[in-house]
Amino acid sequence: MSRTNLRYGWLGTGGPPALVFVTFVGAWYGYSALVGPTERNISSPYPHAVVQTVFGDLSNLSELLKATWVTTKVASVGLLIAMAVGILFAVLMSQAKWIERSFYPYAVLLQTVPILALVPLIGLRWGFGFKSRVIVCVIISLFPIITNTLFGLKSTERGHGDLFLLHDAPRLTRLRKLHFPAALPAMFTGFRISAGLSVIGAIVGDFFFGRGEKGLGIKIRDYTNFLETEMLIGGIILSALLGIAMFQVFGFVGRAITGAWHDGA
């Protein structure tokens, strides 16, 4: 491939996001320059001030990285539990229509109830520590896994299913060799969606419970109370980067597993 093709290939993929980022930073500088010094110090610091405070001070960076690790543990455990529970219920619902009719409405209900309405009950029942934060992550991450896995399991090509039935393949064999492979792309779509939601759940749990190891949610709340705006923005940036990282992990694993035979990968 020539240098010209490489250059234009990069411009076609990395150029637009870079342009949007530069535009955003420029707008941030412009807004910060327009507001008064008092408002700038409270709510609109310059981008370079955020970089200097968060990433130029090792103690501040270490504090945020430690909180990020706590949030990562909570979000990861909650996501893994949600994956196990979601796949189990999706498999059961795909095997019997009466199971789907019995449980799917409650999966929808779990998605529609605001998580902040359930958080107080979770805290009163299971305390305000690690376990309750994980439960919040499970609740907020469960629905996309169930719906995408169920969709994938029910989207097997009819011709393939008829072929298995023609050879009298047992139900478990059809599930293992036909339905699960066909469902993998949809399943990983659900995993990617839930990966970002689990980070949101971990931060929401931090905001409400506020006990135990300090994750990003607790740190963001503390920075807000003490008007440490640079550190607050740093916490928001690391929260976003954590969500993106978890999203990309499942995207990479999904492409590695299905990329050889699935066009959408």
Separation CA 21–CA 70 (nearest Å): 28
**DSSP H stretches of helix in 154-228:** 158-166, 171-174, 180-209, 216-225
* pLDDT value for 59: 93
* Full-model pTM: 0.84
* pLDDT value for 119: 84
Q: Can you give the C-alpha Rg of the chain in angstroms?
A: 23
* pLDDT value for 32: 87
* pLDDT value for 82: 96
* pLDDT value for 260: 58
Cβ neighbourhood burial of 30 (10 Å; 0-12, 13-18, 19+): exposed
Separation CA 8–CA 20 (nearest Å): 18
- Per-residue pLDDT of the chain in tens (265 residues, 90 and over written 9): 455 555 555 566 677 888 888 999 999 889 888 887 877 777 889 899 999 999 888 999 999 999 999 999 999 999 999 999 999 999 888 888 888 898 889 888 888 888 888 888 888 888 888 899 999 999 999 999 999 999 988 877 665 555 555 555 656 666 666 777 788 888 999 999 999 999 999 998 888 887 778 899 999 999 988 889 999 999 999 999 999 999 999 988 888 887 655 555 4
Separation CA 94–CA 81 (nearest Å): 20
Separation CA 146–CA 166 (nearest Å): 29
* pLDDT value for 127: 85
